[in-house]
Structure 1
Amino acid sequence: MGFKVLVETNTALFVEDIGPSDGETILFIHGWPLNHLCFEYQYNQLPKLGYRCIGVDLRGFGQSDKPWFGYTYDQLSDDIRVIIDKLGLKSVTLAGHSMGGAISIRYMARHAGHQIARLALISAAAPSFTRGPSFPYGMSKREVDALIQETYTDRPALLSQFADLFFERPTSEPFKQWFIDLGLAAAGYATAYTAVSLRDEMLWNDLSSIHVPVGIFHGKKDKVCPYEFGEILHALILGSTLYPYEGAGHGVFYCDQDVFNQDFSTFIQTT
């Protein structure tokens, strides 16, 4: 069932609610530059196990409104708070992939983990997406600037190149086109502005605000958010559990979908 929820700044976000209404609730937050449909291979399976899966298109992406403004982590996490409250969600597993993982961390800090029972960080773009003097992992700011520039000049080519980075295991050409189409459903300016947030926002100070069980799911061959991101998050988030995937890339939820889905369910059931 799909519908729209009005959040701040009169922006309507598209929400899809899949599975039994009385099941354990998982709220999925997609990453850059996709939308909630990237979790198709979780929506196919997890409801069979009794989970209620809720996918959200962030502002600017998918079927949500595409305002000119509001692409900071603060605003994006505020949008998630409104959705949780308007849907009356409680004891939620918040699952964020890539930039969605970064937004989920900001939500935990900015909203004191409101109604979140556990946090799943999937190939999270955190604690920093870009490298610096004391953080030698991830992209350089210049590399992200190049992504932003290509967003403005040839977004289909950017998405094609990103698809090749995203998955470690071979995918079919139709699957790659599906991935590109997910990205093209976003506004170009929203894709660019969220890339600015990826480039500039830091989450080091947010991590101490997390006081729920945390599962960190990360592919060892991730070319977008290196595996070291997951190791650092595991070291800095007390009591977290790290789930490594030897042959998986950034799209771990597809590269190792069967093992990932099982690990994800185990994480929920045991925390």
Structure 2
Amino acid sequence: MKPDSVLPQPAFPEITRRQMLVLGTGAAVTAALPSTAPAATRMPNSAASSHENLAMRYVTTRDGVQIFYKDWGPANATPIVFSHGWPLSSDDWDAQMLFFLSNGYRVIAHDRRGHGRSSQVWDGHDMDHYADDLDAVVTHLDLKGAIHVGHSTGGGEVVRYLARHGEKRVSKACLIAAVPPLMMKTASNPGGLPKSVFDDLQRQTATNRAQFFRDLPAGPFYGFNRPGAKPQEGIIQNWWRQGMTGSAKAHYDGIVEFSQTDFTEDLKKINLPVLVMHGDDDQIVPYADAGPLSARLLKNGTLKTYKGFPHGMPTTQAAVINADLRAFIKA
């Protein structure tokens, strides 16, 4: 496919946010009905049975924000905590959560404030609040020995969480196509991207978010703009769905946070083993100024480079990413 070719429009261009919420409410009600599954297929020792058994689960942060989270698997299994990228939600981890759940792990993922099903507050869209919100989920669930996995902005969230809240509840971490150490070009970071790139992202978010959130996954996010690439319509529409469910204000502010936050000192504070996974054809967080630099700043970091993989490789190359992540966890 040529980079400038026109992709088909979403099959649901006229779905409103109100309709989406109605659909979501219906799904929640359905989930709350008594299960008809055979008893043998249920997991009586699941994490769900050890906490409140609700169809929709939230934790309230110190500043009153409702953070939505998923918690699947045996309560006594090793927990893996996933932090999603901008402007998505915990749904972006479906391929990882189902894989690790089937391999005996407990899997947890939350929607960042202003994203997905979490509160659409107007403030607090910064790395310190992101890290504190993650800590609120971890503390609420009383997780111990957890493995934290962050993709893109979520990688920055994991790094700030470890530097800000310590490692007492964590055993390992993994950064996938993550934004650290610093995305924007500065005097001390000459390999970064010009500020004008991120200014343009904010402009598109503010003026035509719906189209922008269609063009990004249809093009550079998953590498579908590369010659010979075969765009997957379901992946594109799912990215659009996740993005449009979130808050434009959170997405607008988040661009500044993921691009201008310098994680250099945070990375230096981390002592536990960290796997850094990055594709060398990442068009969103360019490889050379991200993965290799983060791995060097970490005391116990390991870099794994993926030739030709795009930014959204946890989705498009899920089998490879899951296998390598599992090997790191088991090592």
Q: Indicate the TM-score class for this superposition, using the shorter chain for normalisation.
A: over 0.9
**Are residues 1:158 and 2:212 paired?**
yes
Q: 5+ residue gaps in structure 2?
A: 1-47, 49-55, 224-228
Pairing 1:1-271 to 2, within 5 Å after superposition:
2-163=56-217, 164-168=219-223, 170-228=230-288, 229-270=290-331
Cα RMSD after superposing both structures: 1.4
SS at match of 1:10: coil
How many residues are matched? 270
User: Structure 1: how far apart are the matches of 2:277 and 2:316?
Assistant: 12
Quick one: which amino acid aligns to residue 211 of structure 1?
N
Assess if the C-alpha contact under 8 Å between 1:138 and 1:225 holds in 2. no
- Listed one character per residue, the Cα deviations across residues 83-102 of structure 1 (whole Å, up to 9, x for unaligned) are 11111111111111101101
Q: Describe the shift of the 1:191–1:114 C-alpha distance in structure 2 as closer, same or farther (beyond 3 A).
A: farther
Quick one: which amino acid aligns to residue 172 of structure 1?
Q
Assess if the C-alpha contact under 8 Å between 1:137 and 1:226 holds in 2. no
- Listed one character per residue, the Cα deviations across residues 197-240 of structure 1 (whole Å, up to 9, x for unaligned) are 12321111111110101001111110111112111111111221
- If each structure's strand is expressed as a fraction of its own residues, which one has the higher value? 1
SS at match of 2:213: helix
SS at match of 2:240: helix
Identity over the aligned pairs, expressed in percent?
30
| TM-score normalised by structure 2 residue count | 0.79
Which of the two has higher C-alpha Rg? 2
User: Structure 2: how far apart are the matches of 1:232 and 1:209?
Assistant: 15
Assess if the C-alpha contact under 8 Å between 1:112 and 1:209 holds in 2. no
Assess if the C-alpha contact under 8 Å between 1:138 and 1:224 holds in 2. no
User: Structure 1: how far apart are the matches of 2:292 and 2:241?
Assistant: 32
SS at match of 1:8: coil
User: Structure 1: how far apart are the matches of 2:124 and 2:168?
Assistant: 21
Comparing 167-176 with 38-47, greater Cα deviation is found at 167-176
User: Structure 1: how far apart are the matches of 2:241 and 2:191?
Assistant: 29
- Listed one character per residue, the Cα deviations across residues 171-218 of structure 1 (whole Å, up to 9, x for unaligned) are 322321111111111100000011121232111111111010100111
Assess if the C-alpha contact under 8 Å between 2:186 and 2:192 holds in 1. no
Q: Describe the shift of the 1:170–1:23 C-alpha distance in structure 2 as closer, same or farther (beyond 3 A).
A: farther
Moved over 4 A (4+): none
Quick one: which amino acid aligns to residue 217 of structure 1?
M
| TM-score normalised by structure 1 residue count | 0.95
User: Structure 2: how far apart are the matches of 1:226 and 1:140?
Assistant: 12
Assess if the C-alpha contact under 8 Å between 1:245 and 1:252 holds in 2. no
SS at match of 1:58: coil
How far apart are 1:29 and its partner, in Å? 0.5
Comparing 244-253 with 32-41, greater Cα deviation is found at 244-253
Assess if the C-alpha contact under 8 Å between 2:222 and 2:310 holds in 1. yes
How far apart are 1:138 and its partner, in Å? 4.1
Assess if the C-alpha contact under 8 Å between 1:119 and 1:214 holds in 2. yes
